[in-house]
Amino acid sequence: MPPARALGGALLLATANTAYLTWRYLAVRHGWSAPGTGLCSWTAWVDCDRVLQSAEARWFFVPNAVLGLGFFGGCWLFWRGTRATAAATRTLALQWLAHALALGALASLWFLYLMTRLDALCPLCPWNHALAFAAAWAARRTATAAVNAHGAASDSAARTLPDRALLARLAARSLAWGLATVAAWWFGSGR
């Protein structure tokens, strides 16, 4: 599979996975669904609902699933936006995305550590972390291929004012998605 396709697939799957986990967190928290009845609640020990309601499943009161939905969804929007840009701009954008996903993969190490401290296992949560590493790897490969295909000259061409403005709009749209996701949860949960 080409790295660009793997990147898009990993980001889309991670977004869908975190969307389900976000919905599940809200459904149990607000009584829309009984705990232990979810797609990933199999036994007393393998139960997403128990994990999602634990203290380790939140960062400063925001559920990790919501943060993941904002991050992966924002990265997916950014990646989709780069596909319509000129080659030089796309190369620079892919490098930015590769760096962001590398930071996300590093953050996954912390979340994996937190999962080891729980008395229950969410079978869907580790997939988010595996997808974070897969997306980071695919983004790095895609960015490297773009640099090799277009050379160093394209890097300086991508630093023109219109290209920077386009990249800034892509980054702002992706950041807006992430912040809107957290804000929607915040206001929707009655905080």
Maximal CA-CA distance, the chain: 58
Q: What is the pLDDT of residue 160?
A: 59
Q: What is the pLDDT of residue 141?
A: 92
Q: What is the pLDDT of residue 2?
A: 85
**Identity of residue 163:** D
Q: What is the pLDDT of residue 38?
A: 78
Q: What is the pLDDT of residue 135?
A: 94
Q: What is the value of pTM for the model shown?
A: 0.82
State the virtual CA torsion across 53, 58, 61, 62 in degrees, nearest 10.
-100
Strand partners, 58: 63
Q: What is the pLDDT of residue 14?
A: 94
CA dist 62 and 67 (Å) reads 7
Q: What is the pLDDT of residue 131?
A: 93
Q: What is the pLDDT of residue 153?
A: 43
**Identity of residue 138:** A
Q: Which residue's structure tokens are 């050379």? A: 151
Tokens describing residue 176: 């807006």
Is the CB of residue 48 less than 8 Å from the CB of residue 29? no
Would you write out the chain's pLDDT as a tens digit for each of its 191 residues?
788 899 999 999 999 999 999 888 888 888 888 888 877 788 878 888 888 888 887 777 788 888 888 899 999 988 888 877 777 777 888 888 899 999 999 988 988 888 888 888 888 888 888 999 999 999 999 888 887 876 654 445 445 556 677 777 777 887 787 777 777 766 666 55
CA dist 170 and 162 (Å) reads 12
Tokens describing residue 189: 């949960």
Domains of the chain: 3-188 (1.20.1440)
Q: What is the pLDDT of residue 15?
A: 93
